[in-house]
Structure 1
Amino acid sequence: MTRVILITGASRGIGAATVRLAAQRGYAVCVNYRSSAEAARTLVAEIEQSGGRAIAVAADVALESDVIRLFRTVDNELGTLSALVNNAGILEPQADVDSMSAARLQRVFATNVFGTMLCAREAVLRMSTKRGGSGGAIVNVSSMAARLGSPHEYVDYAASKGAVDTFTIGLSKEVGDAGIRVNAVRPGLIDTDMHASGGEPGRIERLKGSVPMQRGGTADEVANAILWLLSDEASYATGTFIDVSGGR
């Protein structure tokens, strides 16, 4: 039976790299995106041309109704879900906390925290052996910001990822006896366009000197960690974290 994976925020960066690697490993892939329809369709076409199976589904994980529709689409078009990667995340332009509005905080937490929890809820409803499922694995994409705090840049983003870390631990203990493993990766300075979203495209160049390995990482390096956590090689790993940060 073909394994089915849903990857949120998957049209670019770490998400897209994870889609490609999952397809190479034999998964049927749901490429979730919020607004990058063309990139998502291009990615699906790439997978299909390589002999894999993929669909693209637009959904904003910050909206419960969208999340429910997203998972039902996977049920109907791909089949039984066996893996979820909670990758969707946003950050706002760099700022100190004393200038952050409530609206900004609500946007960041709605996607990064509530979206992660809502998607995990839907995955558990389908995977739990206590509910007739066959088990599965969830990987949450956190950030080294959860440990470093991102002062004068993205304290709100860092705090949201700290919440993801705590959620990962709690959920892993809650569903460990239901056939579901829950783990997380914490990427560091990864070469994606997310830095441009925060207003500093050259952020890696500025900060790479603080990384023991003296360079930024790649989306593929994070994807490899995610796929290992999803694999049978990690069958006794739950509630654990892999820092993909070059030692930072």
Structure 2
Amino acid sequence: MTTTKTAVITGSSRGVGADTAKILAAEGYNVVVNYRQKAPRANKVVKEIEEAGGRAVAVGADLTSEEDLDRLMQTAIDEFGSLDLLVLNASGGMEKDLGDNYALRLNRDAQSNALTAALSRMNPGGRVIFVTSHQAHFINDVDTMDAYDAVAKSKRAGEDELTSRIPEMSEKGVSFVVVSGDMIEGTVTATLLNRMEPGALEARREAAGKLYSVREFAEEIAKLATADLPTGHIELVGGAQDFLAQVDAK
């Protein structure tokens, strides 16, 4: 596929976001790589993209700052001339030093503010992808680990807030899709949860039958950039059968 479109990917200096950036760049997207603090990691992603023949730029931006978000989205316009795809990948909330309400500020408020900053700049035909987890998407019906409960609820609040703005996106000709995955092998969140609740990762692997790797989940996200899907579509990567079964049982 050849394209001259530009993607902004939040939280893309490592992990799923970084792999998504590399995959989209290989497909021809110009990519804005976002990071909060670790510039060297983001610059490494940019270097790998450029060495493979792609185009990318790294932008440091704290997503809880509306000013930073505005600068992040404007960079797509200034550097590449358009903003066609926004991948809302960054999330968090397990940090202990950023305030009691940090999970909600990042996973709900910052997601909505990022959409606001992007939507005024996006072209008709653009797309917004919100990345979440089954543990968060189903949190209203299926309990999760105690250590992840507050984060899951804040991410679901973010998903609900963005979903409520579908009419606004549709007016601009922009579609919205959600991609939800199980615990991802090798991610910081999965590692932390397994440390806090030993055996959690193995339990999820057993229940799901398979847990995706970082690269595999990134490939699923990248597919949604151009997939012919109705706005509001929710892609349950891996099927989420045990979550759906618990919902159906209620």
The verdict on a shared fold, with TM-score over 0.5 as the criterion, is yes
**2:132 counterpart letter in structure 1:** S
Displacement, 1:199?
A: 6.6
In structure 2, the partner of 1:180 is 174
In structure 1, the partner of 2:62 is 60
Gaps of 5+ in 2: 243-250
Write out per-residue CA displacement over residues 109-148 of structure 1, whole angstroms, 9 at most, x where no aligned residue: 1111111111111111112xxxxx4330000112112213
Moved over 6 A (4+): none
TM-score, with structure 1 as normaliser: 0.85
1: distance between equivalents of 2:39 and 2:102?
Answer: 21
Write out per-residue CA displacement over residues 194-227 of structure 1, whole angstroms, 9 at most, x where no aligned residue: 223457287423432222x2x3211222222222
**What secondary structure is seen at the aligned counterpart in 1 of 2:120?**
helix
CA-atom RMSD, angstroms? Answer: 2.3
Q: Does structure 1 retain, via aligned residues, the 8 Å contact 2:13–2:34?
A: yes
In structure 2, the partner of 1:189 is 183
TM-score, with structure 2 as normaliser: 0.85
Aligned residues between the structures: 232
In structure 1, the partner of 2:222 is 227
**1:175 counterpart letter in structure 2:** M
**2:146 counterpart letter in structure 1:** H
Cα distance change on mapping 1:124 and 1:35 into 2, 3 Å = same
**What secondary structure is seen at the aligned counterpart in 2 of 1:154?**
helix
**What secondary structure is seen at the aligned counterpart in 2 of 1:190?**
coil
2: distance between equivalents of 1:101 and 1:9?
Answer: 19
2: distance between equivalents of 1:25 and 1:171?
Answer: 29
Instruction: Give the percent of matched residue pairs that are identical in Structure 1 and Structure 2.
Output: 31
2: distance between equivalents of 1:149 and 1:44?
Answer: 39
Which residue, 99, 104, 108 being the options, matches 1:103?
99
**What secondary structure is seen at the aligned counterpart in 1 of 2:147?**
coil
2: distance between equivalents of 1:153 and 1:89?
Answer: 15
Alignment of 1:16-165 (within 5 A): 16-92=18-94, 103-104=99-100, 106-127=101-122, 133-146=123-136, 147=138, 148-165=142-159
**1:168 counterpart letter in structure 2:** L
2: distance between equivalents of 1:199 and 1:60?
Answer: 27
Moved more, 179-188 or 221-230: 221-230
**What secondary structure is seen at the aligned counterpart in 1 of 2:153?**
helix
In structure 2, the partner of 1:210 is 207
